[in-house]
Amino acid sequence: MKKAIVTGANGFVGQYLVNELIEANYFVYAVIRKRGVFNTRFEWNDRIRVVELNLDEYSKLPEYIEEEIDAFFHLAWQGSAGSDRQNIPLQLKNVEWTCDAIKASHKLGCLNFIGAGSIMELETFKAVYAQRNKPGAAYIYGAAKQSAHSMGKALAASLQMDFKWAMITNAYGPGETSPRFINTTIRKMINREPLQFTSGTQNYDFIYVEDVAKAFIHISEKGVPYKYYVIGSNQAQALRNYIKRMGETLAPDQTLHFGDVPFTGINLSLEEFDSSDIRNDTGFECDVDFESGVQKTYEWIKEMYDSQV
């Protein structure tokens, strides 16, 4: 039986990754913060062992795990949404903690390290290096992801480890509680709030969270070392199209207002969302289409609302 470590195992993507690893016949060391709580979607069984360590204690991981590990998935990251994206000390710590995770993986004899990145790394590069552009403070998070990617790759190379980086476009699905786009828009639809958006001409890609978890496993088992892989549906398009598809599926009687909200970010090209590498190198394919995914997410959020009544 293969063995894996997952940091951030009780996070949105982490819980799904643990479940998919169990399904793929792995034994999983699920690393969570002390006094952390597993999401209710986490499926307990005898092939999961919980390790409670805060991010600044990852150097202690070898004290808790005394067997060979096949894959180390590092998903833990504090401040991935909300105002903490602008928290410079915290974001810099995340870079340091990523390097600590790589060192711990090396000490455990696990030379297969898979880190969780973000498509915002590419957006941050364009926002920061475009002449005379004034990037928003949220790009501090993107810059930290870039730094973790760069420093982690260099550190892993110096330790003769295989390093793979999974750059997630936009994950969504049941269990998501942060104020990201799909989650927020569905809640507005349920509450029948005004559906106001930008003009929606900026390009986006969305991928259902179960597919994200499966993609991580494909990268671990078949990915090429020292490559980054964009995890997406490979069907990137203008955000306006996604919003219209959500409206037709979830709220056909509600009006969508485009252009009411100003867009101040950076628009990535469709080529920058290209996720063909992961398909060509690993054979990964998405199982859940966008309409099915948002319907499942809607039903979960609606159930949460109904249970509070």
Note whether residue 199 is domain-resident.
Answer: no
Q: Which of 55, 116, 125, 89 is nearest to 272 (CA)?
A: 125
Domain presence at residue 296: no
Domain assignment present for residue 167? The answer is: yes
For residues 207-223, average pLDDT: 98
Average pLDDT over residues 92-96: 98
**Model confidence over 105-159: pLDDT tens digits?**
999 999 999 999 999 999 999 999 989 888 889 899 999 999 999 999 999 999 9
User: pLDDT confidence of 38, banded at 50, 70, 90?
Assistant: low
Number of folded domains in the chain? 1
The pLDDT tens digits for 43-73 are 678 899 999 999 999 999 999 998 999 999 9
* Torsion angle, alpha carbons of 280, 284, 288, 293, to 10: -90
- Residue 42 has a pLDDT of 61
Instruction: Give the strand pairing for 26-32 and 162-168.
Output: unpaired
Please compute Rg for the chain using Cα positions.
19
262 within some domain? no
CA separation for the pair 128, 140 (Å, rounded): 10
Q: Is the confidence at residue 35, as pLDDT, over 80?
A: no
CA distance 202 to 83: 23
The Cα–Cα gap between 161 and 205 comes to 31
Q: Work out the angle at residue 227's Cα, subtended by the Cα atoms of residues 225 and 233, and round it to the nearest 5 degrees.
A: 120
Per the domain annotation, does 93 fall within a domain? yes
The CATH number covering residue 110 comes to 3.40.50.720
- Mean pLDDT of the chain, nearest integer: 93
Residue 40 inside a domain? The answer is yes
Q: Give the range of the structural domain holding residue 148, as residue numbers without chain letter.
A: 2-176+205-235+273-288
For residue 306, tell me if it sits in a domain. Answer: no
305 burial class (0-12, 13-18, 19+ CB within 10 angstroms)?
exposed
Average pLDDT over residues 194-209: 96
Instruction: Please indicate, yes or no, if residue 9 is contained in any of the structural domains.
Output: yes
Buried (b) or exposed (e) across 84-120, using 16+ Cβ within 10 A?
ebebeebbebbbebbbbbbbbbbebebbbbbbbbbbb
